[in-house]
Amino acid sequence: MIPTDFYPECFWGVAVAESRCSGQATLCSPRFNSPFNTQYQSKMSDETEQQQPFQAEVQQLLDIVINSLYTDKEIFVRELVSNASDALEKLRHLQLTEKEIFDHDLPLEINITTDDTAKTITISDYGIGMTRDELVENIGTIAHSGSKQFLKAMNEDAKKESSLIGQFGVGFYSAFMVAKEVKVYTHSWRNDGEHLVWISDGKTGYTIEEAPGQRRGCKIVVELRDNEEDHDYGQFSTSSVIKGILEKYSNFVPFPINLNGERINTVEAIWLKPKKEVTDEQYTEFYKFVAHAWDEPRFKMHFQADSPIVINSLLFVPSENKEKWGMGQQEPHVALYCKKVLIDPNPKALLPEWLRFLGGVIDSADLPLNISRESMQDSALIQKLNRVVTKRFLRDLGKEAQSDGDKYMEFYKEFRRFIKEGIATDPEHQESLAKLLRFESSMTEPGEFTSLSDYLTRAKDGQEKIYYLVGNDRETIEQGPYLEAFKARGLEVIYFDEPIDEYVVSSLQKFDEKDLVSAAQADLDLGDAPEAEGEALSDEDATKLCEFLTETLGDAVEKVEVGKRLVDSPVAAMNPEGQMSPQVREMLKAMNQAGASPMKVQLEINPRHELIKNLAAKHESNPELAKLAAQQLLDSALLAAGLLDSQMPLLKRGYDILKEALK
Ligand code: ADP
């Protein structure tokens, strides 16, 4: 048990590192990423005494909050306590650099009082407080793009609200779920700050008035709404209810929380404890605290090592991929600690970028406490931590995949993007990551996935390649002309059906020493197909037909050949080796890039196909129709290959052919 009564100078029970944050521009706090505004300008005018309207977006947000979609109203307590904790964290960092701090002897703690006669709950902290400008800026407007995204997401799918509210930092406004009025009494840490109170009913705007005697920090008085038939707002002015909520959500807040004078939270650095001493509930609770998360963790990885460096690390994979709603790239949020002291809540170089979905803590006793953020990127020690933790994470994930395939697949479906991104961007871990890939294939049922290793266990004797096809989805891939040759020979083909897969194969190239080869590639020697049905064209007729087609199709083809691969389709456009794939070309085209000019393909004809045999028989007697047929075959092959730029000629020519045929 870690002693917790060292406050206020201590965090997780250990003294704060001197000078670990330089200046005030980037303050370390688990939840604050935005620069702290140090520009205080005294602005006192009659105008601000009058009611100010909220910024339109705040109003929108408040409407959502007040007409509450949120069923979980108690979360406002957690939000306000989190803000208080952040404000204290910021103050603690300022104490390292600032000599003059208003009310400097106040303890770093959070005090909560309830009054069930007045129906209020009051949450006060002795943190950094706010100036008048900061009040306007921080709680009268939405500066964070995250909150704007939140609004967007809410409009799109209002049901996700309770998991979104914390994530987007709409925290403070959650008070209006339960409040008829909120008062924020505050004095900034600056000696020249004002004693102020911000007052709002959340509906009509806010006023800022003077509040003589206010101490440093913030005191937020929430006057609860009157009870309604199915809503008991009054409960939040009852000590026992608030105690229960605090015990649920706020155990890991790194500052003392007192409720009506009684100390509530215990502070523990659970990542330093032996695994067997930590319960699942504690892990989950800690995850929610450290990752500012609402969901349950999907996986946790708690590991301790003494060599090559001392590491105590506790990592969590969330339930949900937070990037999946198109809200941009997440910040890395595995915090870096040294012996329980927070060095940086969002260190960029600590883990590879593709691991940004992880939350948690990495603590290394080997780190110098005064490491600055700037030098961190280059620090050999950080690189070592990065390597060791990433390797370990991949190893543990691999074990999870082995021991519970279904659970792993659930993870994979949600987070595969990151695994694939890692393969395309991180050569060092590519090999381990490739083992974690899962795909559908010609030998899996729809919706079933296989790994590359399992593919190899099914490979035919002497099969030296791993075959794949890229396409938009399983159906498109299976209806194309490429698969049939592989199916006829019992060769498995992996389906790559996401745009990023193109990067995955081109970066990976090999798995377990075996080349990854596109099944659409020309010049693949698959050996003879077993007992091809039907009579084929004679060599002589086939050669003549190929010559006719080469001449008719001109520059559009590199060459026309009799193929051994086709079974049911008359023709297929093969991708000559070394040429870019249709998918890459598609991307270049979308970006309007050079290099997307029409590609020359190699056309393979199926000498057993009725259509090809008829064409061979007719091309001399009815050259006009044969030319139309040749063009039509090429365009159909290009369409199947994803290489046809315009489909209209195909359509129009189809009518011309029908016209001829029906004559
Ligand atoms: P978030 O905490 O995610 O930034 P909030 O809506 O909860 O979003 O708070 C908005 C801003 O108001 C905070 O970023 C902070 O600048 C300011 N704020 C809120 N509560 C406090 C507090 N107790 N002390 C100082 N500043 C606060």
75-118 per-position pLDDT tens digit: 789 889 988 988 998 898 888 888 899 999 999 999 999 999 99
**Quick one: pLDDT band at residue 190, thresholds 50, 70, 90?**
very high
Q: How far is the CA of 330 from the centre of ligand 1 (A)?
A: 20
Tokens of 70: 């949120």
Mean pLDDT of 623-648: 88
Whether 28 has a pLDDT exceeding 50, the answer reads no
Query: Which residue's CA is the closest to the ligand 1 atom numbered 23?
Result: 84
Residue pair 190/98 in contact (Cβ under 8 Å)? The answer is: no
Confidence (pLDDT) at 155: 60
Global model pTM greater than 0.75: no
Which ligand 1 atom lies nearest to the CA of residue 217? 24
Mean pLDDT of 444-461: 95
Q: How far is the CA of 542 from the centre of ligand 1 (A)?
A: 77
Task: Please state, for a pLDDT cut of 70, what percent of the chain lies above it.
Answer: 81
Which ligand 1 atom lies nearest to the CA of residue 169? 3
Mean pLDDT of 174-201: 94
Mean pLDDT of 32-56: 50
Residue 87 CB partners (closer than 8 Å, separation 6+): 125, 127, 128, 129, 217, 218
Query: Which residue's CA is the closest to the ligand 1 atom numbered 1?
Result: 169
How much of the chain is helix, strand and coil, in % rounded to 5? 40, 20, 40
pLDDT in tens, 239-256: 999 999 888 777 677 889
Exposure class string for 1-32: b at 16+ Cβ within 10 A, else e: ebebeeebebbbbbebbeebbeebebbbbbbb
Ligand 1, CB within 6 Å, residue ranges: 79, 83-84, 87, 125, 127-130, 138-139, 169-173, 218
Q: How far is the CA of 292 from the centre of ligand 1 (A)?
A: 14
| Partner residues linked to 197 by β-bridges | 185, 209
Which ligand 1 atom lies nearest to the CA of residue 123? 23
**Quick one: pLDDT band at residue 531, thresholds 50, 70, 90?**
low
Q: Which of 22-31, 348-357, 492-501 has the lowest mean pLDDT?
A: 22-31
pLDDT in tens, 137-170: 888 776 554 456 566 666 655 544 444 554 554 6
Which of 138, 147, 164, 206 best tests ligand 1's pocket when mutated (most atoms within 8 Å of CB)? 138
Q: How far is the CA of 172 from the centre of ligand 1 (A)?
A: 6
Whether 45 has a pLDDT exceeding 60, the answer reads no
Measured CA distances, 245 to 77, 236, 242, 250 (Å): 7, 10, 5, 8
Averaged pLDDT of the chain = 82
Q: How far is the CA of 578 from the centre of ligand 1 (A)?
A: 56
Q: Which of 218, 211, 192, 198 is nearest to 39 (CA)?
A: 192
- Give the residue, 529 or 515, on which the prediction is more confident: 515
Report the alpha-carbon distance of residue 411 to residue 388 in Å, rounded.
22
Q: How far is the CA of 84 from the centre of ligand 1 (A)?
A: 8
One-letter identity of residue 173: Y
Whether 24 has a pLDDT exceeding 50, the answer reads no
Going along 247-332, which residue ranges are E strands? 257-259, 262-263, 297-305, 311-318
